[in-house]
Amino acid sequence: MALRRFCCGVVLVGGWWVASVGPGFSAKDAALTSSGLPVPRYVSLKSDHVNVRSGPTKDNDVAWVYTRSGLPVEITAEFENWRRVRDSEGAEGWVYHSMLSGRRTAVITMKSKDELASLYQSADPASTIVARLQAGVVAQVKRCAASWCHVNGEGFDGWIEQQRLWGVYADEKVD
């Protein structure tokens, strides 16, 4: 009898788990964490000197140092005041929460490093091209809707297809 109750409990919990992480699961559906914010989520580096550690304490070795303020990173886990982050190249490590900013930025991505991403005057590929950006350029994300994002940076301001950005989820709405 006890075994049957255990098996029924496993089936119920398993069904709930599949329903919660099955098809259609996205970042907006993620459970809230101790910070009260969903994981995963994108943020940016607050400083031009950010230590990335191999684990979530100051006792862990510094694996490398980010030297570019505003670089977007994705928070993939939280432990107390530490955030595990991943960058656009896939490198992961732990950063102290105060070194991160909620300001949204993104990196321009292209299939080839030699290609340029077109930046348009409006969210329409028929509008005027106002700039062409290289892969790796960091832009501040002003807003995103309907697969287009309004971005700006040093010497540019315009609209880009959302698929050209690392730092914004597919079809994410940013205000």
- Concatenate the DSSP letters of all residues of 69-97 into one string: TT-EEEEEEEETTEEEEE-TT--EEEEEG
Q: Classify residue 99 by its DSSP letter.
A: G
- Residue 80, in any domain of the structure: yes
Cα–Cα dist 159/146, whole Å? 12
Give CA separation, 136 vs 2, 10, 45, 62, 110, in Å.
Answer: 59, 47, 15, 24, 9
pLDDT of 33 reads 84
* pTM score over 0.85: no
The pLDDT value recorded for residue 10 is: 36
Query: Could you tell me which of 140, 148, 139 has the C-alpha nearest to residue 173?
Result: 148
Q: What is the pLDDT of residue 57?
A: 97
pLDDT confidence of residue 30: 57
Q: Are residues 124 and 160 in the same domain?
A: yes
Same-domain status, 64 and 87: yes
Angle value at C-alpha 15, between 13 and 20, nearest 5 degrees: 95
74, 103, 132 — which closes off a domain? 103
32 and 98 together in one domain: yes
Same domain, yes or no: 99 and 112: no
How many other CB atoms are found less than 10 A from the CB of residue 150? 20
Structural domain includes residue 125 = yes
Q: What is the CATH number of the domain that holds 138?
A: 2.30.30.40
Tens-binned pLDDT, residue by residue, of the chain (175 aa): 444 443 434 333 333 333 333 344 445 555 668 899 999 999 999 999 999 999 999 999 999 999 999 999 999 999 999 999 999 999 999 999 999 999 999 999 999 889 999 999 999 999 999 999 999 999 999 999 999 999 999 999 999 999 999 999 998 999 9
Pairwise CA distance, residues 167 & 125, whole Å: 21
Tell me, yes or no, whether 94 and 142 share the same domain.
no
Instruction: Verify that 59 and 94 share a domain, yes or no.
Output: yes
Q: Please indicate, yes or no, if residue 1 is contained in any of the structural domains.
A: no
SS3 58: coil
Please tell me whether residues 123 and 159 are part of one structural domain.
yes
Domain presence at residue 7: no
The β-bridge partners of 141 are: 151
Number of folded domains that form the chain = 2
Provide the domain limits for residue 45. Answer: 28-103
